[in-house]
Amino acid sequence: MTKLTKEEMSPLHSLEDWDEDVLKRYPEAGKPAKEKDAFRNYDSPEIDGVREFYRLNHKYQTYDNVLAKKANFLKFDKKEMPWWTAMEYLNTLIDDSDPDLQLDQLQHLLQTAEAIRADGHPDWFVLTGFIHDLGKVLCLFGEPQWNVVGDSYPVGCKFSDKIVYPEFFADNPDKYDERYNSQYGVYSHHCGLDNIHMSWGHDEYLYHLTKNYLPEPALYMIRYHSFYSQHREHAYDHLLNAHDHEMFKWVDKFNPYDLYSKSPVTPVVSELKPYYEDLIAKYLPATVKL
């Protein structure tokens, strides 16, 4: 890949722009979508950052890109630190410019986890809510935003028109590669998601970080919580097997907590830290290798 410009590295004003775009597309059940101009009020919103984000995402998320990123990042040789320290490290992605909500990444994760905990779900479910965005540390390792967040989807087969901004795949070379542009591409009928390469990002990265430690439903929540073209549109039913469909019930349970738990009420981190440190110790090793 050619060297990226600053604009190609960070087309979004912040990673929160993608989160809010998802909320606009998938508002909470029974509630109207928030008006576009009510989300943010910048003096000169001249560039649609989300649209540009997806133009780049759909251009560069190729089968070869995914394999290259897995070869690089799944060595887990960038940093090693205690899990709580890693969560604090994620806070360097705080969106200081957001005029609507002044919460850092750790506070959002605590809000998500506390909402899950309040509803009486198992403690591994609570832990999943707490760590589910840790993969965004990829930005701190020099990854462009479109290789960290965004709706996820399979690569190596035809891109579904149910993916957001499908017209931007016209710039993706895989669209014209006979190996990858058929309905099944390099896969087969109902082959199962474990045999599929998903677009690269924080979900896939964190899945590989945690796959040896968490229950399978938690791993589905982590790996596929951004796979909106499937769990909203069922665009890839031809690739999923029966087990995937059963596990996606857990993804459906998780997503409302991720999407709709943000609140201006700030969690008291010092009060919650002992509980979450004990929860981490129950399921995860003392340190995480990023």
Q: What is the pLDDT of residue 62?
A: 98
Half-sphere exposure for 73 (CA within 13 Å, toward CB): 28
**Which residues in the chain show pLDDT less than 50?**
34-47, 95-101
pLDDT reported for residue 119: 96
Position 2 scores a pLDDT of: 64
pTM of the predicted protein model: 0.90
Supply the pLDDT for residue 1. 58
